[in-house]
Each structure stands twice: as C-alpha cells, then as structure tokens.
Structure 1
C-alpha cells in the first residue's frame, strides 16, 4: 500500500464526532489541517485541543455554499453530514443538500487544487439489505421517499457525483462506506444507539430499544474507522470500500453489554420500531483487507469500555458504583 504524506488537508465537518478524530490523526502525523464546519451539529469543543497547534485552523462555513481556500491543498475529506437520525429528521433539507451541493463544492475544491478527494459514505446506502453480509457490489434496498431518505439518498447521490468527477474531470477520488462508528467525542444528545445507551445507563434511566431489539448492527471503534479512511486516502484507490467491524450483534446484545460495563440497574424498555430501520447490518470487508491491508483491531467489549470511560468524563456523569471497577483503558 502507498504511504503518501499529505502536507495540507481540508476536512469538511471537521468539528463533528468523526471529523474531529480525523483532524487529530492528520495533525499528529504532520499534516496541516483546515477544518470547515458550520457547527450545526459539530461542536468547536471537539477540536479545542487542536486550537493551539500551528498545524490546525477551523473556519465556520456552510459547505453547501461555495468557498475558496488560498494556497495548496493535497487532500479534501468530505465528512460534513447530519448522521444522526434525530438530526437529519429535524433538518431534512439541510441533510440532503450537504450530500448534493456540499459534496459538489468539496469536489470542485479538490479539482481546482489537484488534491486527493475522499468521501465518507455510509452503510445506509444498502438500505434494509437483502444481501448479507453486504458487499460493495450490492446496489441496496432503499426507500427513496421515506423519513431516512434524505440521509440515504444524499449519500447515494454523493457517491454518484464523486465518481462523475473522477471519470469526467480526472479527480483522484475515493469512497469509503462506513458502518456504525462509536467512541469518545459523541454528543450526549446524539441520538444514536451507543451514546443513547451509555447516557441512559449513567443517568439510571431506562435504555430504550426500538422494536424487538433483534435487529443487528456492526460497531466499529472510531480509531479503526479513522485508520481505514486514511488508508484509502493514502492508497489512491477509488472504491467504494466498506470500513466496519464484521462482528455482528443484536441491538439487545449491545444494550446488555452497556448495562454490564456501567454496572447500572437501568431497565430495558421497548418502544415502537423506527420506520425503514434495517433488520440486519454487517459489512463484508474482504476488499478492505485485500486492497488496504485493513481490518479492525479493537473488539467491542474493549471499545465500549473505553467509550463509557471517555463519555462519562466528557459529559460529567458519574459511573454507578458497581461499574467503576469495570471501566478503564
């Protein structure tokens, strides 16, 4: 695999959960980083530790509006997106425009600078899959007009637009399809499964499971996800390539594991299932392993321990007494 070094990167959505981790990894490896974020769901506090570095700068800007970046750029990573169902159902127009206009503006920047472009797409392009596990060749089973469509179709459009720029304008572009990622830096009101379960457990509230809980997910530690994104960026391939952990678990399994790791006495409550919620989700990562030499390194129990520890500290929530000895790096 190629090990090209990027001198200067632009990261859209760089103050979001995943974007902040990517910015941090790039800075640590000697890349100058310009973070572009409108802070609608991202948080400046996520990158506050980078503010003192002369390799990092953050600017507030809505990526659906054109922008210019003076000077050379050799990597554009388009992460801007409202990835939480609570956020993209609250801001549906903004969500789909980030996948359309936002992706176009990021691609125009990469084209103008002759930069490598990486789109972080999603396993949601597979919809409620009829193929299991999901391979990159699978076209998906997506409801194009349902409540999740602004996110799903926004990402599918962004993938098509990325490849159009690659084919017609010669942009050096790559696509990663990310499966559920978790770790420190997730917002307390994020709404996704892992932070919601952890917050409820730490507060002693019921852990809410939508539907039966028998639906499956594949959870990938954020450090493994960031490594996969950068592996594709440095490799130079187009993809799309699945980046995720093939350790498939039911939602109930995850809820029970969070209960165990926190030592909470919280009950599990079942609420009405979400519309178009995928019944199964698991990546086939053979392509990532073969092309990039990438596989996840952190197993779920360890990663959730770290997530509970980190998020409890970030949110200022104490661990239940029974969970204090179970959590730590």
Structure 2
C-alpha cells in the first residue's frame, strides 16, 4: 500500500511552493508525511537527529528537488521561514521513552517552544500529540473533552505529561499570541517503515517479527488490555486534512480507529496471517499501562470529513508483506 493512496485524495498542486518543516521526518509517520507532501509539491524540510529513526526511510526522497534533509535536534534548532511546521519529533516506544525519560521530554517542551516561537512570524503549527494524554481513560470511546487520568510521576509520565504540556503550550501561544495551532491526538498507528529490528519496538512490529521467526509472541500483562490501531495511510491523510482545514485552528482532534482490539486477539491474528508456528507467552505488565484505548472520532468526522478506510486485517497484511521483505534482505 503506497503513498499514492494518500496523494490521490488531494489536488496535485495543493502545497505547490509552500515551505513545510517536518520534525521527526525520518521516523515512521514523519517519513510517510514527508513523502506525501513532497509529491504534492511542497518544499519539504525533514529535520531529524536520527536517534530513533532511520535515514533509509527518506533515502528515496533525495531524488526530489523540493526535498531536503536536516540532521539536527529540534530542541537546539530554531526554524525560520516556513509556512507550516509539523512537530512530530518524539520517542514513540514505551520501552524507549522509559529508558530515556529526559530525551523524551525535551522535544515536547524545548523543541515545541522553538517551533511555536518561529510560528509567531506567521507559520501554522500542527502538533502531533497522542492518545497517551488520556492515560488510563475512564470514558470509552474517549472524546477530546475528557481530561485524562495520568500518573504525573510514573514511569510513563515523561511521555504522557510532556505531550500534555505540549498541548497546553500550543493553546497558550494560540490564546496569547494568536498563533495558528492545530493538535492531532494520534492513536496507535502502524504500517511499513516501523523499525523491524528495534530492541524497543512497538507491539505490532514486535509481534510480526516474532511471528515471522516462529518465536514466542510476548504479551505484557494478561493480553486483555485493548488498543485501537490505524493504518499509516489513514493517519497521514488526516494530518494533511488538518494542515489545509482552517476549521481546526485552535482545535484538538482525535485521529484513530474505533475498532477496539484486545492485545491477545491482535497476537492471534498476526500468527494466523503470517502462518506462524509461534506460541503466546505472557510477561510482567508494564507500569501504568492503560487497560483500554479507543477514540471517539465524531469530531474528526465533522471537521475533517475523515474516518479510517483500511481494516486492521488488510493493514496487517500490507505490513507483514513489508516486514517479510525486510527480513529476507
């Protein structure tokens, strides 16, 4: 499933000549967004320090004259001259951000501050937040006006609370300085370009690689916890719609699937789709791991005319095919 599925839904010259900075642009979501925006005619600057991302994700974009890569840390970089800034730089894996808590907090504080200061000169800022701001939500499906249930000093707080701070900082700049900010609360997204060999891989790439190698699939906890998974083309489609839709200025919008899936059922599905002989094993639950995760996307439907199109089974098939090619070299 290629980026053309995204591009085909927009005018070919939608961003012609517009200058767009994508922080974390060599990562999973960032690289898909960079590619779509480049094909749509934008002058795309991809900024990434490559601490958790891979330059292989963007190598194919260097052939375009309207794409450039900047190796830098957004916490130390001061953007200038952009029409749009998409701030996506972050450590996305729970194991990774619990191992590197300070590195996790800086992009969502100092890094975002640099983006917002630059935006005071006229840029639009799209901040990619997360469903983690809801913590262990008590309302399912969870609407944007739910305030969340988060442990502010727990092992996950470096990510949860820095994202919550980032949202608050965006709204402060919107209210005090009139900066055009848009906040996307992204629920679990997956697809090709997730790092297949990362020691700190997220659940879908970890399960797929274990299944392809016929190794046990390791579930943290009892497997009854739920998540809502959105295929990458659907997620990026929503992000582009947030860039072009002035109706979401100063708004927070859930971006995710309303198909709530138990982790044990996800594991069984991946074993079936890969034809694996893997068994399922259970390990100790992660601290503060939310029991359920499912968005209310009525706001996205209303403001963006958006909802996911790719089913979990189809999305997993595309992802497994890509991972299989990576494993075979």
**TM bucket normalised to smaller:** over 0.9
Q: Is the 8 A contact 1:9 1:74 kept in 2?
A: yes
Q: Distance in 2 between matches of 1:316 and 1:94?
A: 33
Count of residues in Structure 1 that have an aligned counterpart in Structure 2: 313
Match of 1:297 in 2: 309
> What per-residue deviation string (whole Å, max 9, x for no partner) do you get for residues 248-283 of structure 1?
110011001100100000000011111100000000
Is 1:268 matched with 2:280?
yes
Q: Distance in 2 between matches of 1:315 and 1:51?
A: 25
Q: Distance in 1 between matches of 2:282 and 2:160?
A: 25
> What per-residue deviation string (whole Å, max 9, x for no partner) do you get for residues 57-91 of structure 1?
0011111113243xx42110000000101211121
Q: Distance in 2 between matches of 1:282 and 1:50?
A: 34
Q: Is the 8 A contact 1:5 1:234 kept in 2?
A: no
Match of 2:4 in 1: none
Match of 2:68 in 1: 57
Alignment of 1:12-31 (within 5 A): 12-31=23-42
Q: Distance in 1 between matches of 2:214 and 2:22?
A: 37
- Tell me the C-alpha RMSD between the 2 structures: 1.4
Distance 1:252 1:73, change over 3 A: same
Match of 1:5 in 2: 15
Match of 1:322 in 2: none
* Residue 175 (structure 1) shift: 0.2
* Residue of 52, 56, 60 corresponding to 1:41: 52
Distance 1:315 1:105, change over 3 A: farther
Alignment of 1:93-104 (within 5 A): 93-104=102-113
TM-score relative to the length of structure 2: 0.93
Q: Is the 8 A contact 2:185 2:252 kept in 1?
A: yes
Q: Is the 8 A contact 2:79 2:115 kept in 1?
A: no
Alignment of 1:67-78 (within 5 A): 67-69=78-80, 72-78=81-87
> What per-residue deviation string (whole Å, max 9, x for no partner) do you get for residues 6-55 of structure 1?
61100000001110011011011111100111110011111011011101
Gaps of 5+ in 1: 318-329
Q: Secondary structure at the match of 2:115?
A: helix
Match of 1:142 in 2: 150
Match of 1:258 in 2: 270
Q: Distance in 1 between matches of 2:233 and 2:222?
A: 30
Query: Which 10-residue stretch deviates more, 176-185 or 98-107?
Result: 98-107
* Residue 96 (structure 1) shift: 0.7
Q: Distance in 2 between matches of 1:314 and 1:265?
A: 20
Match of 2:178 in 1: 170
Q: Distance in 1 between matches of 2:79 and 2:257?
A: 37
Q: Distance in 1 between matches of 2:15 and 2:277?
A: 48
* Residue of 198, 219, 241 corresponding to 2:229: 219
Is 1:208 matched with 2:218?
yes
Gaps of 5+ in 2: 1-9
* Residue 314 (structure 1) shift: 2.5
Alignment of 1:182-201 (within 5 A): 182-188=190-196, 189=198, 190-201=200-211
Match of 1:122 in 2: 130
* Residue 315 (structure 1) shift: 3.6
> What per-residue deviation string (whole Å, max 9, x for no partner) do you get for residues 136-174 of structure 1?
000000000111000000100000001111111111110
Q: Is the 8 A contact 2:22 2:30 kept in 1?
A: yes
TM-score relative to the length of structure 1: 0.93
Q: Distance in 2 between matches of 1:246 and 1:30?
A: 32
Q: Distance in 1 between matches of 2:257 and 2:231?
A: 8
Q: Distance in 2 between matches of 1:228 and 1:107?
A: 22
Q: Is the 8 A contact 2:126 2:181 kept in 1?
A: yes
Q: Distance in 2 between matches of 1:283 and 1:314?
A: 32
